[in-house]
Chain A
Amino acid sequence: MQGVVGGGVGAVSGGGGSSTSGASMSTVSNEDNLVLSSEDSSSCLDESELELGLGLSLGVGMGACKAQQSLRGGQYARILTAKDFPYVGSSASASVSSSSSSSSSSSSSSLSRANVAGTKRSADSVAAANGASQVVGWPPIRAYRMNSLVNQAKLPATEVFNSLIVKSRNSNPAVGKGTSSACVNAKEKGQLRSSLFVKVNMDGIPIGRKVDLSSHRCYETLAQKLEDMFATSSTIMNSRRSGGEEHDMMVEATRPSKLLDGSSGFVLTYEDKEGDWMLVGDVPWGMFINSVRRLRIMRASEANGLAPRSEESNGGQRIKPI
């Protein structure tokens, strides 16, 4: 980390403060042992000038200090990395390990899952653009609320679909437009964009496709869409494609995907914001949506022995054509 000297961190008091520059360094710059002079800025941050600065037109008295402040601003406005949050890893692990018996264990473990996942990301990333996902207890949202957000992102579309009467006007297989809930929740919750098209390439097929991620709300439907898209290649097909477009939405949603369980010989991967290729399915849907840049359906043999995520519902069950 480059050290930015000047624009004293510790100095707000006027002249000759006993400002304890040693102990009072900002935690942001903790790891860097910045030596910050407290004298440079004392002149402009003299309290006697304060009178000028206050009032709703704040900033008048600060004019002289703009240069200093913008320097300080520049110093602060750097990208936060894992080094800036030295307690993240340990706290996350503490929250994982501390829950054993009671009812709150589910909450703390599901939240810590989100945090631990965030921790892993921070450890990997060099320039994490977003500090928010890496810090324990931030943003300050009550754990109960956080859990319901996370859970909504992962809800599979099961019983809710079954309880609906799907009329013909809802036969649009583009999921997400239905009147149902669980997956709509996941979609609406995170998908603030109106559309999010990403490229999809499949090994062995020179021409790629594009898929709109925001019209999906869980991995299952995405994988099925991809399987449909690349159905012309016989590899994943084996199908259960009994006739074109009229898929009953219920079936569409609840069929486990061959792409996801690895039975097709292909593995679904994605490139994330940081340029790493990751296996699809590890993180909650909302998190995936926010970091995915493009998709690749990779031959399992090339995937370096990555074990595809196995669906809990699979067990040993094979997918039968409908």
Chain B
Amino acid sequence: MNYFPDEVLEHVFDFVASHRDRNAVSLVCRLWHRVERLSRQRVFVGNCYALSPQILIARFPGLKSLTLKGKPHFADFNLVPHDWGGYVQPWIEALSNSRIGLEELRLKRMVVSDESLELLSRSFANFKSLVLVSCEGFTTVGLAAIAANCRFLRELDLQENEIDDHSGHWLSCFPDSCTSLISLNFACLKGEINLAALERLVARSPNLRSLRLNRAVPLETLQNILMRAPQLVDLGTGSYVHDPDSETYNKLKHTILKCKSIRNLSGFLEVAPRCLPAIYPICLNLTSLNLSYAAGIHGSELVKLIRHCAKLQRLWILDCIGDKGLEVVASTCKELQELRVFPSDPFGVGHAAVTENGLVAISVGCPKLHSLLYFCQQMTNAALIAVAKNCPNFIRFRLCILDPTKPDPVTMQPLDNGFGAIVQSCKRLRRLSLSGLLTDWVFLYIGMYAEQLEMLSVAFAGDSDKGMLYVLNGCKKLRKLEIRDSPFGNKALLTDVGKYETMRSLWMSSCEVTLGGCKTLAKEMPRLNVEIINEHDQMEIGSDEQRVEKMYLYRTLVGPRKDAPEFVWTL
């Protein structure tokens, strides 16, 4: 393939954007591999322990944007102990010692320290964008370093991180010369904010498109900000509380009318429902609405609001909207593609906030729906079968019945048939989360029909090893499998060990897998890290017959990690 000079190849590859496509391109031949890697600017690393920073730097010297993910997904639900790992420090150190001109860093479920942020801010002159999702370990001191030192910062996006808030000072650390901000999201900060500094920052950021405030920003400040930034496309309000008869509120109503570009609305971390009418005018143009933290909006007010949002494509809400409210969504939001319904009362019982009826109504009214996360009190097979018929386009289907082993309440049957219908009908399904009473049958169906499935989450399901085997054998594209509290043991684990090298990772906790089984697996597959998390018997070496509480295995190029804490054994 020497027909074209490298520059031409490179130019062609510029049009190949997605990571997977570029990875495929790099496998064609040595020449393509070389051209591709030298021209690659954006790299996605799904598991930070699968390779080392050195390997990354050697292969992609032109790296500008790096995405890294650390802890396993179940860490979100406190199933992974605190010091498990996922530190970004070695990455930043290695990158700063190299000649890489990093411009963008996106981290998910990683441990980020203030030192790391400080080092980051000082090492890359052109650094433009920092996105932290579900990370921890840093404070506003680290944020201050980013603000102060990144002269061309365009994006600082903090999503659902646990941040120790020492003071609102960090906002003042943006120098007066910083006028490049396009996106600023600090909604997850819990502490006070220097409001005047915020207003000044907004005033000198003409390119600001996305702004998400935290709870400490009151409505008056919101009004001032919107006056200065009517060009906003994405707005997250902080505290949305005021007296609706006040002058401030009146001013807000008028100011909002000028914000014709807002397409994405979120926040309302505190809310006075009687002030909601001010935002009705912008609801008409909204394509994305996230009210999942707006616990102060009652079901009926929620519904009133949604009636204005005819163009909505993405909606995240709390289940206090109720089945009736979902019917309103179904009749109003015909363009809906993504829906997430979160529980407002996760430990509550009995009060049926949303049930299968709401979901069926949505499926009838919103045929374009392709992504769903639905927490509900109950689900029936009939409903799932109807949903499968109405919405064959699901890419992500995540159902969470709050009682984890609840059967179909009408027939008392397991939900195998319902989920079976989903996987059979939705040929493009890539992600699936199961719940409710489930036997091995559901896994048989998944293995048979879910050909595009990449990620599967299983909890309290199945009867025997066969269940897990159906999935491992049938789902050729499976990349991530996470299982908890299900009766899968060594036979399921060990029947096809080669499979795990085709996957990113496997998590099994509270299953039937034993220490001996894990040891066998680790021995046969040296390119996997088989990690056992043992929280109680710290250093006791149990017998091989002992069941393993938590096992996390993943493919890796670099062998056992050196930063594993005491309670993690890599076999």
| Residues of chain A whose beta carbon lies under 8 Å from any beta carbon of chain B | 9-13, 19-21, 23-28, 45, 47, 50, 54-56, 58-59, 62, 69-70, 72-74, 76-77, 80, 87, 90-91, 94-95, 98-99, 102-108, 111-112, 114-115, 118, 129-133, 135-146, 148-149, 152, 160, 163-167, 179-182, 184-186, 188-190, 192-193, 286-287, 289-290
Contact = CB atoms under 8 A, between A and B. Distances in A.
A258 B64 CA distance: 62
Interface stretch (B35-43, B147-155, B237-245): B237-245
A51 to B, nearest CB: 11
B243 A184 contact: no
B335 interface: no
Given A167-B243, A179-B275, A287-B347, A152 B465 contact: no
B463 A9 contact: yes
B424 A56 contact: yes
A170 to B, nearest CB: 8
B464 A180 contact: no
Q: For B243, B348, B400, which residue has the most chain A Cβ atoms within 10 angstroms?
A: B348
Given A56-B388, A144-B134, A192-B320, A24 B512 contact: yes
A105 B510 CA distance: 24
Contact of A143 (B77, B342, B348, B459): B77
Given A23-B489, A27-B460, A54-B420, A148 B138 contact: no
A193 B134 CA distance: 33
A221 B297 CA distance: 20
Contacts of B385: 56, 58
A160 B299 CA distance: 23
Interface string B329-347: 0000000000000111111
Contacts of A166: 243
Interface stretch (B79-87, B228-236, B519-527): B79-87
Interface stretch (B16-24, B44-52, B89-97, B437-445): B437-445
Interface in B317-373: 318, 320, 322, 342-351, 353
B430 interface: no
Contact of B464 (A19, A114, A141): A19
Given A104-B82, A192-B351, 4 more contacts: A11-B463, A73-B413, A149-B345, A179-B275
Contacts of B454: none
A20 B76 contact: no
Contacts of A165: 243, 246
A103 B270 contact: no
A103 B136 contact: yes
Contacts of A138: 77, 404, 459
A152 B295 contact: yes
Pairs of residues from A and B, 8 with the lowest C-beta to C-beta distance, nearest first: A181-B270, A137-B77, A24-B464, A189-B295, A130-B349, A103-B164, A58-B417, A12-B440
7 contacts: A28-B460, A73-B411, A132-B349, A137-B77, A181-B239, A188-B297, A189-B344
A192 B299 CA distance: 8
A72 B160 contact: no
Nearest to A95: B78
A241 B81 CA distance: 52
A190 B424 contact: no
Contacts of A185: 270-271, 295-296
Contact of A179 (B161, B272, B417): B272
A45 B485 CA distance: 24
Interface in B466-512: 466-467, 484-491, 510-512
Interface string B235-269: 00001011111100000000000000000000001
A73 B409 CA distance: 10
A139 B402 contact: yes
A23 B490 contact: yes
A10 B489 CA distance: 12
Nearest to A114: B347
Nearest to A193: B351
Interface residues of B, number: 107
Given A23-B490, A104-B136, A142-B134, A149 B296 contact: no
Contacts of A164: 241-243
A103 B139 contact: yes
Given A131-B405, A193-B351, A77 B466 contact: no
B346 A149 contact: yes
B241 A144 contact: no
B162 A142 contact: no
B559 interface: no
Contacts of B169: none
A137 B74 contact: yes
A136 B550 CA distance: 13
A139 B424 contact: no
Nearest to B136: A104
B160 A144 contact: yes
Contacts of A77: 406-407, 412, 437
A67 B240 CA distance: 56
A192 B241 contact: no
Contact of B407 (A76, A114, A118, A181): A76
A20 B489 contact: yes
A173 to B, nearest CB: 18
Nearest to B418: A58
B305 interface: no
Q: For A23, A28, A98, which residue has the most chain B Cβ atoms within 10 angstroms?
A: A23
A20 B138 contact: no
Contacts of A180: 241, 272
A129 B295 CA distance: 26
B122 interface: no
Given A54-B420, A132-B347, A189-B295, A143 B444 contact: no
A76 B488 CA distance: 17
A20 B347 contact: no
Contacts of A114: 347
Interface string B264-304: 00000111111100000000000000001101111100000
Contact of B161 (A28, A50, A135, A144): A144
Given A149-B346, A192-B320, A98 B160 contact: no
A315 B449 CA distance: 64
B345 A132 contact: no
B354 to A, nearest CB: 10
Contacts of B275: 179
A124 to B, nearest CB: 15
B420 A87 contact: no
B512 A23 contact: yes
A72 B348 CA distance: 27
